[in-house]
Amino acid sequence: MNSKNRVIQCINGNWYNGEIFEKKTVWLKNGLIHFENRGKVDTIIDLSAKFVIPPFAEAHNHNLESDYKLEERINSYLSNGVFYVKLLSSIKKRITPLMHHYNKYDGLDISMAHAPLTASGGHPIALRKKFLEYGRFKDLFNSIEEIEYHGYVIINDLEDLNKKWDKILSFSPNFIKLNLLYSEEYDERKNDTTFFGKKGLDPKLIPDIVKKAHASNLRVSAHVATAYDFHVAVSSKVDEIAHLPEIHNGKRIDLDDAILAKKNDITVVTTVSLVKKNKGKENYKALIENVSFNLKLLKKVGVKLAIGSDIYTDNSVQEFNFLYELDIFSNQELLKMWTENASNTIFPNRKIGKLKEGFEGSFLVVDKNPLLDIFNINKSIVLKVKEGFILKK
């Protein structure tokens, strides 16, 4: 029966209201949550005093544009209760044939930037070139130049921005991604070929890019590497920082920049488990300490944090577990970062991430109270419901 026509009554459940769990009877109709009876009940689900929370989300990944092991990756997301994924770059020609898997009631919902903005020789051009040489773009592109607009867009000045903007929009991005890498060294790296793939946009252009994106009703996500990149991004009023800065470099975020990020309501996506790539290095312990310092600083000033991994083989579970191990956030804070904050930075215009009247009827039922014990909470899922439909995966 179509969700438009059936009413599901959920009884004996403890529903999370953002602070505590409340025992409630909840009705699902038209795929939405209601706290009052909405007509003749077709199905009754007894939740047996278990705990109901919003679905999890993955606020930074790139692993859904290829058909290689795609079903396995989709099943991994859904089986772990991750319903929403933000793809920080994707080649539209590559992902379009796969879109029948996404954005439907019984599948993953994805948001895409497509090609990120960068400078000549900037990230991710080197990565695209490598994949081209590996043959991963066979039958799609024959040269690195052909990949522009699909896998990256070169913006070196305002003339480029204005000239290329309409074509950028023609790819129908859900948001704009821009790349800042070591922007404090922009002038030194600009024409130095030894930094191929290890540089990004001119920091002076970022305010203009943000204004142009906002004028087109598009949010802006900034890839950052350093604390100075973070400074440029928050000063330019981007909407999202795609990485905690200084994961691999070990410098501290400036307090004033953290305060500005809070003031401008900017979401910072964590991606801190990337620090594990430095395991075995002499400074690994210092890098962990610096990651912890920067997370504590952002938490202290009230910056909105969302869980995202940027790990191709993961689905935000590893990122969540690593954040748990760092012992910086309470269970309630971790739950909010993985549900409400991550969902809202992926789909800011949808009523998701909370269990409220009129919100989408998407939730997880777990057999333990995550406010008391959140470790391996994804393994405690006993029921998954998306837009009023019970998921079997």
Which among 325, 341, 223 has a CA at the least distance from the CA of 273?
325
- Measured CA to CA, the distance from residue 336 to residue 125 in angstroms comes to 35
pLDDT per position as a tens digit, 240-291: 999 999 999 999 999 999 999 999 999 999 999 999 999 999 999 999 999 9
3-state secondary structure of 303: coil
- Measured CA to CA, the distance from residue 322 to residue 276 in angstroms comes to 10
Checking if the pLDDT of 1 tops 50, the result is no
61 torsion bin: left (phi>0), alpha (psi -120 to 50), beta (else): beta
Beta bridge partners of 363: 385
Identify whether the C-beta of residue 112 lies closer than 8 Å to the C-beta of residue 85.
no
- The two tokens of residue 67 are 């058909």
Q: Which residues of 302-322 are buried (b: 16+ CB within 10 A; e: fewer)?
A: ebbbbbbbbbeebbbbebbeb
Mean pLDDT of the chain: 96
Angle, CA of 200, 156 and 190, to the nearest 5°: 50
- Measured CA to CA, the distance from residue 264 to residue 235 in angstroms comes to 9
Binned at pLDDT 50, 70 and 90, residue 163 comes out as very high
User: Residue 38: what pLDDT?
Assistant: 82
- Rounded to the nearest 10 degrees, what angle do helices 255-263 and 227-235 cross at? 30
Checking if the pLDDT of 4 tops 70, the result is no
Average pLDDT rounded to a whole number, residues 59-73: 96
Can you tell me which residue has the tokens 């410098």? Answer: 251
The alpha carbon of 336 is separated from its chain's Cα centroid by a whole number of angstroms, namely 14
Binned at pLDDT 50, 70 and 90, residue 39 comes out as confident
Can you tell me which residue has the tokens 């739950």? Answer: 335
Q: Which residues contact 132 (CB under 8 A, 6 or more apart)?
A: 141, 143, 144, 147
Checking if the pLDDT of 393 tops 90, the result is no
Beta bridge partners of 34: 27
Binned at pLDDT 50, 70 and 90, residue 2 comes out as very low
Identify whether the C-beta of residue 318 lies closer than 8 Å to the C-beta of residue 309.
yes
Q: What order of strands is seen across the sheet that includes strand 220-223?
A: 153-154, 117-118, 176-179, 220-223, 240-241, 267-269, 304-306
Average pLDDT rounded to a whole number, residues 129-150: 95
Angle, CA of 320, 325 and 329, to the nearest 5°: 75
Which among 44, 87, 40 has a CA at the least distance from the CA of 66?
87
The answer to which of 3-7, 253-257, 348-352, 361-365 has the lowest mean pLDDT is 3-7
Q: Which residues contact 353 (CB under 8 A, 6 or more apart)?
A: 54, 57, 339, 340, 341, 342, 343, 344
Output DSSP code: residue 339. Answer: I
- The two tokens of residue 368 are 């333990």
- Measured CA to CA, the distance from residue 293 to residue 312 in angstroms comes to 26
The alpha carbon of 3 is separated from its chain's Cα centroid by a whole number of angstroms, namely 28
| Domains, in order of start, for the chain | 7-52+356-390 (2.30.40.10), 56-346 (3.20.20.140)
For the chain, percent of residues with pLDDT exceeding 90: 97
HSE-up of residue 360 (Cα within 13 Å, Cβ side): 23
Start-end of H helices in 92-157: 92-95, 125-134
- Measured CA to CA, the distance from residue 54 to residue 84 in angstroms comes to 11
- Measured CA to CA, the distance from residue 124 to residue 177 in angstroms comes to 12
User: Residue 252: what pLDDT?
Assistant: 98
pLDDT per position as a tens digit, 80-90: 999 999 999 99
